[in-house]
Amino acid sequence: MRIVGLVFLVLMMSACTTSPPRNPGDICAIFREKDGWYDDAKDASKKWNSPIPIMMAIMYQESRFVAKAKPPKKYWLGFIPAGRMSDAYGYAQAKDGTWKWYVDKSGNWGADRDDFTDAIDFVAWYNNTSNKINGISNTDTYSLYMAYHEGHGGFKKRSFDKKAWLKRVASNVTSRAATYGTQLSRCEKDLKSGGWFFGIF
């Protein structure tokens, strides 16, 4: 019985680790629920000079914090399965080639796209790369998301100019980052000290 109970506990902990946060609209609630996520985001932010609210807003838009998120399937003639729309995967919806580029350049060997620690580091690294390649300010959420979605080459060519839907999405990401920033300013002191733990009982 003890072994069965231990297996059950491990399975439960695994489920809690991979399930998306219950309140993805509140960054304080996210970090209070997901043990270690704040420290991971803070480390990535410091390492790559990318603000936490912007990284988290991009990740929300890409996957809603679903660890094994994949793009929708596509169909021929409306009903014949034809694979996925792209090979993007995980929290950050990074494509195979872009993830390999990240691993090679960052030295984060063994990184997994369905691991939050690696995914948030990827988002921060990508934003930092957008700053270096495209000259985008690390606080310009709108442009950072455009470069994230369209790629650095696409951003340079302004491939988004005729994509009204993408402009709306980028505006939503910008708005969410601002909301996250306001929320984080109210709870970050407690998150840094661990004081939130005692406030949930």
Distance (Å, rounded) from C-alpha 45 to C-alpha 56? 11
75 by DSSP, 3-state: which?
strand
Distance (Å, rounded) from C-alpha 13 to C-alpha 30? 17
Considering the entire predicted model, what is its pTM?
A: 0.84
Per-residue pLDDT of the chain (201 residues; tens, 9 = 90+): 444 343 333 344 444 447 999 999 999 999 999 999 999 999 999 999 999 999 999 999 999 999 999 876 443 444 444 343 588 999 999 999 999 999 999 999 999 999 999 999 999 999 999 999 999 999 999 999 999 999 999 999 999 999 999 999 999 999 999 999 999 999 999 998 875 444 443
Closest listed residue to residue 113, CA positions, set 164, 63, 156? 63
